[in-house]
Structure 1
């Protein structure tokens, strides 16, 4: 299943089909007599570099620790809110909209399709065939229209931002500027939440040029093409972004010059050549690895989704799972390419000046989840923007670590933006205060490196620096309390607890924070264990004295003690970080703690109410590592039935798009098929019944080795690899064919 198919146009943005080249995003509505194209550019954000580091935070830190250790948690919360906050992140902006209107055509026999394999969208009627794609090799978007009979089309553009639009000489140029500030969508403000009063927002340009066999008329911000059988629109976009630490260019002249240059270079290639270069580039990434669940369905995508949402299982459910997994891969290729920005909460697509949670980098789960499955799914080249994001965030985070917390290394709280903001936001400490999010980012970078990604020249040195600086902060931030090194103050993302009749946020030694520290120390030892250094000696001294994971009545303790939980079905599985995505708790290696993980996981699911895409995706990943295919299948069913829009974008309640659920699902499918612990691979550890009949995985990247295997009736029939691998006997058939580099290990 490699294609989205529809028999009607999109009625709204969340039904349109996404295209992207890692720099520019495009949503295609595919109307019958009209077309709407919504453009984004990865560097078009509100604001400019600002310093929200808070010197008062460092002074307050010791007092907050004293209050927490004294059991005065609510007083610690209040002091943290008052003295340790920063300010909110900036927001990812929409670029502009282009509108086409067709004349002299028939809207009958409508079809709208998106090829996931080639990254090409087609819209067909009885009269017109329209083809759209975003080319990474040529950094342009293309919208091509052809017909056997002459037709006419008009083209205009606008933006939700401050803009001007002009048309001349067969070109349409939209220029403007982003706001100086865009407040988060969840803030209610007396003054205007979108402000342009400083004139410091970056400039932007979106330019379209037309090539046609018809007659072109330009003027009054409008392009008209008359009596054509072939029209090719090429689009380029650019902004005044100069770097995360530099003030942006506020004049659109340079952005417009960049657009003209790119379009001039693209004009040297005809439409067919542009299409061929794009499809070769896109399909090479898409086909680098593959998971086939042998799911097929003749139904259009929206009808397939509706069938599953009505409870249909069997072939339809399997087909939708395969399609949804492939769509997640497609989104990664479209939104995350070398040299571009990392995927934010909505990837590279956004239609609002106040998007949900500013469409920023929310790094207490969402940004990390965006990339969990990328390297294993054969998309290692798409991980480079994550490395760049973390490396740049580290630069500002060193200052935050020193000023806010008096530590070496780098700190980062839960919201990052284009300007690499690292201090906290404001208000509730359950989300505001999370200084170890930088450690989480570093741990994710190392996980991809260990898996075989981020090995290009120059990347390894950055990985090493990131891992070292994160471990340094983790070590410095620890304090000795009752014989153990603990994180204090410590939170569990966006969750609370009750003690002494009060609802509290700050504790010490949460399972989440201690899992992050353990993982950071382990990563450091793996990278630097042969080098004698003061930091290595620190870590070796502190690691055995880290506060241990402990048992509560519902499983692993989320906090240092087994406090009352007001929200038993909380959406974040943060206490289980050490098990997944971390690896400091092993399925076989740490059986006692793993059983605590299982209990809390089950407790959370039993009490969960809302169907949140990213939370369900994390649950699928955990179920895979826990080898629980039955739970995984139930959670996947809930996600697909309740948390997916018609265009397969994932839903965050009430009706908001967040891409992390799409991408976390990819990681979940791959974890159900293959899990790794201490160098030993287990195949089909959590295979759902819906996937058991037969299937094949090709070239999954694990520890630098590409592994392929096939199965029938729930048993592996063949395994091969392009390097040495050890495979547990679990689920291997009696007649399994093992490649020369594959060694069987006991289960």
Structure 2
């Protein structure tokens, strides 16, 4: 038996008794969904499904994470670098507005960029619509739920004297969508089924099968990605009839629906693969499929168990009402934060899979052909935030699809580096798509931010930091090195300070006012660039030493580090400076807080090592405010957690958990969560969910400062009692802990090989030897 460390053992028996029974992790409702943001998300990393639970008519939105319009393109302006001297000289002399005009004319991508059809868009696969016929009218005893414990959605109701049950899951076993419809009276199921999508689809029916197929627009000749969805039915009792493009069922007691889909993205034999997948799935009994699905899912989900003591909402309260009550009571429901945390882990598992794609702005769930912001990958925080919870929350392998995406971007990024900066290495700017776009965006006001590639390298590095996998490090080392080569190659000397800085650049999506009253975004050396480059150079040096590579290149990075600006500079008002100069800010409460990158996700600023900069970060956050889209609120939550202010972090969580049904695009005031716990920008953006999950973990465990810190930012409302098991710390440590009255009373730190590690417990740092897993 593994040893466990005990502290204050007088509390142990009571604590263990308190956490003997864990409440089920369910979202539930007493009526069908009325809009998409109330439906229940199911996903297996490739396929997605969102049923609304309608009684007489049910709409189930279908998704495939690889379904994109558009096509590869080369939008580089290969003469752009010739404009660099002029642009840089204008910036040096304070004429940033004039420099921005030149950037807009010559230094953005060719064509329409993300606004063009050939850029592409992540799209909904379509809709499965089921119309139900009953002898009676009206329904009672309605319950619709999503179980995070087993990744199953269910719907139950009565019409007359007949009880109806539906069960849905996207199988982690045989990679199909599964739906089982049952009636407790023989012959009680009469229904009509069809599949459709808003455009570019043909549907045919034959026997017990529906097939939808088509080809999306590539923005060139209309011949883009091909796709197919296939649905088969199996009945108990009753009859089935195929119409031209639909299926009708009469008098069945049970209907099992099998549905799979695919595209020709890196998969030319997609149709054959779909048919084979369906055939294999249909050979197994439904109960076997369900058991396999749950077993595979739980291997990931059950790694972390989390429970907070104290007040919890009445179990009779539906999830949508529970969200409202949570806000109105000031957070008097400790069960909801733990549910929300685990919901984020659930979404991670459902929206990505090793060997496929990382979650985009929608995860993999979308109900539109034109998804907000194209449902792409934004590189100036959003895709990175999507991956912040996976390491600490013990889902480490779910970082690998992002590494694969980044590796596919490198060759394009090398062309972009040459075209715009005449530089070595590779670069990516603000946005990318399925085709690995790396060029600047279509507007100077946001598109020339060049920290995207460096920021991605932070995510790649974190997988190594948490796992210690040197084989993985060797695999990604060329990516890290290439990014460092780019920045080293394009840095210039600021004549006023002597520092090496980027130029032209911008602080993501933000702007400032020049002394002449004009606004501009283009600048040199924004703080986030300086922080990312410093961090990246250090990571490449460390990796090179571990792998015994590139000693000469490491030396050049060492020298460059001495010439970079410091991780942060304090303005005259005590805040951290976002730019090299103290510009007036047109929007002091801007949604991005990019210049605090050094505080999180980096470790360049900590309360222990740089207290003055940490204090400047606090003042920055006070001025920035707590409002914004959900991802921005989540980022601020993470900042306050790193500053060890649990109550302020919790205040941000409360701010994020306000109930909303708004879907209008809102860049400023907004945020909130929908009834199905999706985070709202609005509209829905999944990064807010993932940021909140990372933030809750960061309140309980931190490991970036050279030691494992237990309960570094626990809010007062969580202090009464709590327990979490299975969190991960850097160095490949697994951490379990239990607390009472804000003090750790029990903890366990384990690793594959026992080794020394520093742990901060109840304010005291001690050195221990980890237990063997």
Is the contact between residue 47 and residue 200 of structure 1 (CA under 8 Å) also seen in structure 2? no
How far apart are 1:443 and its partner, in Å?
1.3
SS at match of 1:648: coil
How far apart are 1:739 and its partner, in Å?
7.8
Q: Which residue of 2 aligns with 1:236?
A: 260
Q: For the residues of structure 2 that align with 1:589 and 1:481, how far apart are their CA atoms? A: 27
Q: Which residue of 1 aligns with 2:489?
A: 476
| In the alignment, structure 1 residue 68 sits paired with structure 2 residue 86 | no
Q: Which residue of 1 aligns with 2:283?
A: 268
| In the alignment, structure 1 residue 645 sits paired with structure 2 residue 668 | no
How far apart are 1:215 and its partner, in Å?
1.6
How far apart are 1:286 and its partner, in Å?
0.7
Q: 1:495 aligns with which of 494, 505, 510?
A: 510
Q: 1:351 aligns with which of 361, 364, 367?
A: 367
Q: 1:719 aligns with which of 747, 760, 769?
A: 747
Is the contact between residue 177 and residue 204 of structure 1 (CA under 8 Å) also seen in structure 2? yes
Is the contact between residue 623 and residue 629 of structure 1 (CA under 8 Å) also seen in structure 2? yes
| In the alignment, structure 1 residue 50 sits paired with structure 2 residue 73 | yes
Is the contact between residue 93 and residue 350 of structure 1 (CA under 8 Å) also seen in structure 2? yes
How far apart are 1:410 and its partner, in Å?
1.1
Q: 1:486 aligns with which of 480, 493, 501?
A: 501
Q: For the residues of structure 1 that align with 2:410 and 2:628, how far apart are their CA atoms? A: 34
Deviations 1:149-176 (A, max 9, x none): 1122211111012111011110000111
| In the alignment, structure 1 residue 467 sits paired with structure 2 residue 507 | no
SS at match of 1:373: helix
TM-score using structure 2 length: 0.88
| 98-107 or 694-703: bigger deviation | 98-107
Q: For the residues of structure 2 that align with 1:51 and 1:334, how far apart are their CA atoms? A: 32
How far apart are 1:592 and its partner, in Å?
2.3
Is the contact between residue 391 and residue 462 of structure 1 (CA under 8 Å) also seen in structure 2? no
Q: Which residue of 2 aligns with 1:194?
A: none
Deviations 1:530-574 (A, max 9, x none): 545332111011101102221112411100011111111111110
| 119-128 or 671-680: bigger deviation | 671-680
How far apart are 1:498 and its partner, in Å?
0.9
Q: For the residues of structure 2 that align with 1:677 and 1:441, how far apart are their CA atoms? A: 18
Deviations 1:217-239 (A, max 9, x none): 11211111221111110110011
Q: Which residue of 1 aligns with 2:686?
A: 659
Q: 2:636 aligns with which of 619, 625, 630?
A: 619
Q: 2:128 aligns with which of 72, 94, 98?
A: 98
How far apart are 1:241 and its partner, in Å?
1.2
Q: Which residue of 1 aligns with 2:179?
A: 143
Q: 1:710 aligns with which of 738, 747, 751?
A: 738
Q: For the residues of structure 2 that align with 1:231 and 1:44, how far apart are their CA atoms? A: 28
Q: 2:273 aligns with which of 258, 267, 273?
A: 258
SS at match of 1:364: coil
| In the alignment, structure 1 residue 82 sits paired with structure 2 residue 110 | no
How far apart are 1:591 and its partner, in Å?
2.1
Q: For the residues of structure 2 that align with 1:98 and 1:725, how far apart are their CA atoms? A: 55
Q: For the residues of structure 1 that align with 2:564 and 2:595, how far apart are their CA atoms? A: 16
Q: Which residue of 2 aligns with 1:305?
A: 323
Q: For the residues of structure 2 that align with 1:443 and 1:352, how far apart are their CA atoms? A: 32
Deviations 1:180-208 (A, max 9, x none): 23xxxxxxxxxxxxxxx713211111110
Q: For the residues of structure 1 that align with 2:54 and 2:756, how far apart are their CA atoms? A: 51
Q: Would the alpha carbon gap of residues 456 and 388 (structure 1) be closer, same or farther in structure 2, given more than 3 Å must change?
A: farther
How far apart are 1:448 and its partner, in Å?
2.1
Deviations 1:361-395 (A, max 9, x none): 01100000000011110111221211111111222
Q: Which residue of 2 aligns with 1:222?
A: 246
Q: Which residue of 1 aligns with 2:762?
A: 731
How far apart are 1:456 and its partner, in Å?
9.2
RMSD (CA atoms) = 2.0
1:227-626 pair list within 5 angstroms: 227-242=251-266, 254-294=269-309, 296-297=312-313, 298=315, 299-309=317-327, 311-316=328-333, 318-427=334-443, 429-452=444-467, 455=469, 459-482=472-495, 483-500=498-515, 501-529=517-545, 530-548=548-566, 549-552=568-571, 553-605=573-625, 610-626=627-643
How far apart are 1:589 and its partner, in Å?
1.7
SS at match of 1:35: strand
Q: For the residues of structure 1 that align with 2:414 and 2:66, how far apart are their CA atoms? A: 23
Q: Which ranges of structure 2 fall in alignment gaps of 5 or more residues?
A: 1-23, 660-671
SS at match of 1:468: helix
Is the contact between residue 702 and residue 729 of structure 2 (CA under 8 Å) also seen in structure 1? no
Q: Which residue of 2 aligns with 1:745?
A: none
How far apart are 1:28 and its partner, in Å?
1.1
Q: 1:153 aligns with which of 150, 168, 191?
A: 191
Q: For the residues of structure 2 that align with 1:591 and 1:456, how far apart are their CA atoms? A: 33
Q: For the residues of structure 1 that align with 2:763 and 2:518, how far apart are their CA atoms? A: 53
How far apart are 1:624 and its partner, in Å?
0.7
Q: Would the alpha carbon gap of residues 301 and 604 (structure 1) be closer, same or farther in structure 2, given more than 3 Å must change?
A: same
How far apart are 1:103 and its partner, in Å?
2.2
Q: Would the alpha carbon gap of residues 314 and 105 (structure 1) be closer, same or farther in structure 2, given more than 3 Å must change?
A: farther
Is the contact between residue 143 and residue 233 of structure 1 (CA under 8 Å) also seen in structure 2? yes
How far apart are 1:740 and its partner, in Å?
5.5
Q: For the residues of structure 2 that align with 1:466 and 1:706, how far apart are their CA atoms? A: 28
SS at match of 2:411: helix
Q: Would the alpha carbon gap of residues 637 and 201 (structure 1) be closer, same or farther in structure 2, given more than 3 Å must change?
A: same
Deviations 1:448-475 (A, max 9, x none): 221118x496x43332122111111121
Is the contact between residue 721 and residue 739 of structure 1 (CA under 8 Å) also seen in structure 2? no
Q: 1:109 aligns with which of 141, 155, 166?
A: 141
| In the alignment, structure 1 residue 167 sits paired with structure 2 residue 205 | yes
Q: For the residues of structure 2 that align with 1:123 and 1:733, how far apart are their CA atoms? A: 50
Q: Would the alpha carbon gap of residues 306 and 78 (structure 1) be closer, same or farther in structure 2, given more than 3 Å must change?
A: same
How far apart are 1:319 and its partner, in Å?
2.0
| In the alignment, structure 1 residue 119 sits paired with structure 2 residue 151 | yes
| 90-99 or 100-109: bigger deviation | 100-109
Q: Which ranges of structure 1 fall in alignment gaps of 5 or more residues?
A: 182-196, 244-248, 743-747
SS at match of 1:662: helix
SS at match of 2:54: coil
Is the contact between residue 466 and residue 728 of structure 2 (CA under 8 Å) also seen in structure 1? yes
Q: Which residue of 1 aligns with 2:699?
A: 672
Q: Which residue of 2 aligns with 1:185?
A: none
Q: For the residues of structure 2 that align with 1:446 and 1:70, how far apart are their CA atoms? A: 37
| In the alignment, structure 1 residue 628 sits paired with structure 2 residue 666 | no
Deviations 1:1-24 (A, max 9, x none): 511011011111111100011111
Q: For the residues of structure 1 that align with 2:746 and 2:413, how far apart are their CA atoms? A: 47
- Runs of at least 4 residues off by over 6 Å: none
Q: For the residues of structure 1 that align with 2:67 and 2:270, how far apart are their CA atoms? A: 11
